[in-house]
Chain A
């Protein structure tokens, strides 16, 4: 079945550091890929998405590129801020299944 695997957390970085959170997926066909963010005490929010191979999603300084050859969708940010501290979820949506499948989440903490 469809599945998403994220790098183990928690991840702790200093402010202005470079961030990478790895995400790989297993799915038949051509799923759409998403990154969601969950701030403390809040629901999930869509951060960015990509719907086909080689698409790059971007938002708030975060980027991720849909790599079909490596079945990956790694999240990157060049300079993180304390306000980026949250849990990040990678997810896929396959039109045949018509539902989101989430990874286990990666907790990110940014220290000033």
Chain B
């Protein structure tokens, strides 16, 4: 069964360092999402791609976060510099688009010390 892959699963870093997360969506899914899930809360959308284009990045803290999906397939989310408040689970999801089901990866748990 096709799955969304994410790596690493866990990342511990010190504040002011740079971190990067990778996501490989289900083959053929044009829409890719990055969510942040703070402990005890629901996921919050950070950025949405349609193919290689950003559709929505209104909640992405652009002074320190960046995301790319250069060839419209896999994607990278970067944080530079990391802050203590960035500690969270970062989830990637993909779908065919619109109301079609979003399939989630296992997430990357980030701890900033």
B91 part of interface (Cβ distance < 8 Å):
yes
Instruction: Please determine whether A102 and B42 come into contact, CB atoms closer than 8 angstroms.
Output: yes
Instruction: Please determine whether A99 and B48 come into contact, CB atoms closer than 8 angstroms.
Output: yes
Instruction: Please determine whether A45 and B104 come into contact, CB atoms closer than 8 angstroms.
Output: yes
| CB closest residue in chain B, given A9 | B40
Instruction: Please determine whether B99 and A102 come into contact, CB atoms closer than 8 angstroms.
Output: no
Instruction: Please determine whether A98 and B56 come into contact, CB atoms closer than 8 angstroms.
Output: yes
Instruction: Please determine whether B98 and A43 come into contact, CB atoms closer than 8 angstroms.
Output: no
Tell me the interface secondary structure of chain B in the complex.
Answer: loop
Residues of A within 8 A of B91 (CB): 43-44
Instruction: Please determine whether A95 and B99 come into contact, CB atoms closer than 8 angstroms.
Output: yes
**How does the 8 Å CB contact mask read for A24-53 relative to B, with 1 for contact and 0 for none?**
000000001000000001111110000100
Q: Given A43-B105, A44-B104, A95-B98, are A102 and B44 neighbors across the interface (CB < 8 Å)?
A: yes
**Which of A46, A100, A104 sits near B45, CB closer than 8 Å?**
A100
A21 part of interface (Cβ distance < 8 Å):
no
A62 part of interface (Cβ distance < 8 Å):
no
Query: In the assembly, what is the distance between CA of A102 and CA of B89, in Å?
Result: 15
Shortest Cβ-Cβ A-B pairs, 9 listed: A102-B42, A43-B104, A44-B104, A43-B106, A99-B45, A43-B105, A46-B101, A104-B42, A102-B43
25 A-B pairs within 8 Å (CB atoms) are namely: A4-B42, A32-B99, A41-B106, A43-B93, A43-B104, A43-B107, A44-B91, A44-B104, A45-B104, A51-B99, A89-B42, A89-B43, A98-B48, A98-B55, A98-B98, A99-B33, A99-B45, A99-B56, A100-B45, A100-B102, A103-B42, A104-B40, A105-B40, A105-B41, A105-B42
Chain A residues close to B by CB (< 8 Å): 4, 32, 41-46, 51, 89, 91, 93, 95, 98-100, 102-105
